[in-house]
Structure 1
């Protein structure tokens, strides 16, 4: 008997669905890199990075203090210790002073929400190996058994999620002075004692316990991904972990992986491409241009000011990236007021201009030097032209947009449409009678009905 074609089509459709549902990612980059990036990450655009740990106690130079002092033995750090601490003082002796006695996770969450950020990434463990949670694989070198005597990762996670922000965790793969890691390194990474007995048990436990929606991996460059067992971990993360549907990861999973493999690309700290990348990327940068962790000797001139941060954010988003801005809290758990001021001022700008940032896509033209520098973003049929200008300059020529008789131009923050004239066969001239106050001197034109 001949089977009706409609039955055959239905069978093939069911077979396809079963195959799709049953598909699993395998532990190789070809498979792992095929996983679609969860939409929440590209829509978010702006996140806060938090570097906080024992390195916040000496608060000198950078978060690489321990390595600079006893690894590289940089004279500036050696002299700092000789001048300020007694003979025999070890790095571990800093840990009891990492007390976090004034740490209020809900206050942090308020500040981060006010900044306009949509996700927060906290250091669960930096290269020093100290974990900001009660890791069963880090006895007495963690925030529950030492220092704060509390689970910092858990406490902040609860507060962040109450604000409906996405919660991510930074994790360093390597640890400068861990004996197991040094033994593997001595063996040219042909052994995996550190990976099997410290790193991976800890990382699996971290994911199961706190369910981070983003894992920001780092400290990978001394060994390849095979040593780190990175592909095996990511296959589990994408297939069987409690966050398999939503988790996002970066590209730091082994020497040579950066800008080649992973969920999105960091490529390098403060990476800033000059053209539109073909893959989703993120720029991580710090308000303190000298350090990611808190420094008691930081100077105002060494911090990014608000106009620079906003321009950097806009440039990043126009080129399809996310912007992850770092602050370094003090060891007592307080966020320095100068950092809080920056974050709240970003939020004030975002309240007016966020429409041109969140959930946008790169336009066909990312930037042009018209009358003033302009960056473009888009959302559906709307194009946003984000510009800086002298307050006395109120007439702008934009060459990239193609106008029609249906074109409407408005300035975000002002409801009334602006007057405009076509510029020959392409572009437009916009007349603005007054510019509203902007703390960053950055404004946004909303262009509807342009191509």
Structure 2
């Protein structure tokens, strides 16, 4: 290899990903058995010194119960005594798992791609991953290749398939103390060559078995593997792109290579200025199923629709997470939100795919929530409540107007278009106006 940088991996963004504006994330694991976290708020809004000991991410249960004095540790002691975390793998039955039903729900929601967790920070693999012994779902617990089942079902619905992998953390291969700060997440992680080869073998196996269109790594990549020599991460990327020219990789591999940036809830929002980016978040405050979450935390259809509209208006795409129960059911609140969102979203699919430039964003919503999208041929304006609204007509053809969503009447008044919104069922009203 003669290249001295990672730039030789650069290529045009695959067209499918450029057009894709909505995906489904799936966090499902042994942590779905206890399914417990304190729903204290969203990442990016809670200080570090509170976040870790009161972690709302149920998928971090293995870490949180090891923090002395944490409510999760007390909950675990009261509920499970001194049972080790791996007992949850054996209790995870997935007896009601119906991958075809999941995929139909995701298709109805208007997803263009689906990304399940294949190995989270607890190190438990959802397929027969090399080197994991019996610590995977084929040898214990569900006794099934869950990733293969999801991949087949998703593709049967015509959706793209990707894989999440935690390359940065694996609590099963280290003896570090629990993470209590963001800095400890960055510093107390496996960085040696042995872990790099272990993780790289997993990613290569995922690529060979399931041909994913997205490689979604989390946290970081072991430093010993971030090089351009044979056996390193550069070679892994090059081989992946050679096998799948339509594939993309996210930005959580350290200072190496990526096709797109990510944000999480409101954290890492500086990445929203980049050319290609994705926001990921749960429907609640957790990614893994949290039995404590209720309508107070779970987004309803209107809230999800407004969040998605705002992300797309800023040039991004949304990867929203579902957290199935240990039995394999999508919780009712999450299912209802996705079904309603998909029904509302259907007339907007082509417009979203065609958004070609960022739209100016309001500094606040104090005067009412409004957003707009800009495609090469139209301006789409959104409002979330009944009322009368004016759209300045400069640069628009006010004679060519389409109502995409809501009960809306329109009238030209001088140089403006007046929208009279009677109702906003499901999600915001949307009106498309031709650009002159």
What TM-score do you get using the length of structure 2 for normalisation? 0.83
Shift of 1:31: 3.0
The aligned runs of 1:361-372 (5 Å cut-off) are 361-363=356-358, 365=360
The corresponding residue for 2:17 is 41
The aligned runs of 1:236-385 (5 Å cut-off) are 236-239=236-239, 243-254=243-254, 257=255, 261-271=257-267, 273=269, 277-289=273-285, 291-363=286-358, 365=360, 373-385=369-381
The corresponding residue for 1:14 is none
CA RMSD of aligned residues (A): 3.1
Q: Given that residues 175 and 181 in structure 1 are in contact (C-alpha distance below 8 angstroms), is that contact kept between their aligned partners in structure 2?
A: no
With over 3 angstroms needed to count, the CA separation of the structure-2 counterparts of 1:282 and 1:140, relative to structure 1, is same
CA distance in 1, matches of 2:203, 2:269: 31
The corresponding residue for 2:163 is 169
The corresponding residue for 1:12 is none
3-state SS of 2:346 partner:
helix
The corresponding residue for 1:11 is none
Note the residue ranges of structure 2 that are not aligned, 5 or more in a row. Answer: 38-57, 178-185
3-state SS of 2:143 partner:
coil
Q: Does 2:117 align with 1:123?
A: yes
CA distance in 1, matches of 2:106, 2:188: 44
Q: Given that residues 125 and 132 in structure 1 are in contact (C-alpha distance below 8 angstroms), is that contact kept between their aligned partners in structure 2?
A: yes
With over 3 angstroms needed to count, the CA separation of the structure-2 counterparts of 1:307 and 1:269, relative to structure 1, is closer
With over 3 angstroms needed to count, the CA separation of the structure-2 counterparts of 1:352 and 1:414, relative to structure 1, is same
Shift of 1:175: 3.8
Q: Given that residues 25 and 114 in structure 2 are in contact (C-alpha distance below 8 angstroms), is that contact kept between their aligned partners in structure 1?
A: yes
Q: Given that residues 382 and 431 in structure 2 are in contact (C-alpha distance below 8 angstroms), is that contact kept between their aligned partners in structure 1?
A: yes
Shift of 1:443: 1.1
Shift of 1:366: 5.2
The corresponding residue for 1:106 is 100
With over 3 angstroms needed to count, the CA separation of the structure-2 counterparts of 1:75 and 1:412, relative to structure 1, is closer
The aligned runs of 1:394-405 (5 Å cut-off) are 394=388, 396-399=389-392, 401-403=394-396
If you compute each CA radius of gyration, which structure gives the higher value, 1 or 2? 1
CA distance in 2, matches of 1:400, 1:137: 63
Q: How many residues align?
A: 404
Q: Given that residues 57 and 98 in structure 1 are in contact (C-alpha distance below 8 angstroms), is that contact kept between their aligned partners in structure 2?
A: yes
CA distance in 1, matches of 2:308, 2:2: 34
3-state SS of 2:215 partner:
strand
Deviations 1:230-277 (A, max 9, x none): 7643444345556431111110002xx4xx951100144544748962
Q: Does 2:430 align with 1:430?
A: no
The corresponding residue for 1:409 is 401
The corresponding residue for 1:85 is 80
Out of 37, 54, 57, the residue aligned to residue 30 of structure 2 is: 54
Shift of 1:80: 1.4
CA distance in 2, matches of 1:99, 1:313: 33
Q: Does 2:432 align with 1:446?
A: yes
Q: Given that residues 283 and 323 in structure 1 are in contact (C-alpha distance below 8 angstroms), is that contact kept between their aligned partners in structure 2?
A: yes
Shift of 1:206: 1.1
CA distance in 2, matches of 1:415, 1:299: 30
Deviations 1:170-214 (A, max 9, x none): 10013443336869x999977422112x11111111111111100
3-state SS of 2:155 partner:
helix
CA distance in 1, matches of 2:377, 2:2: 36
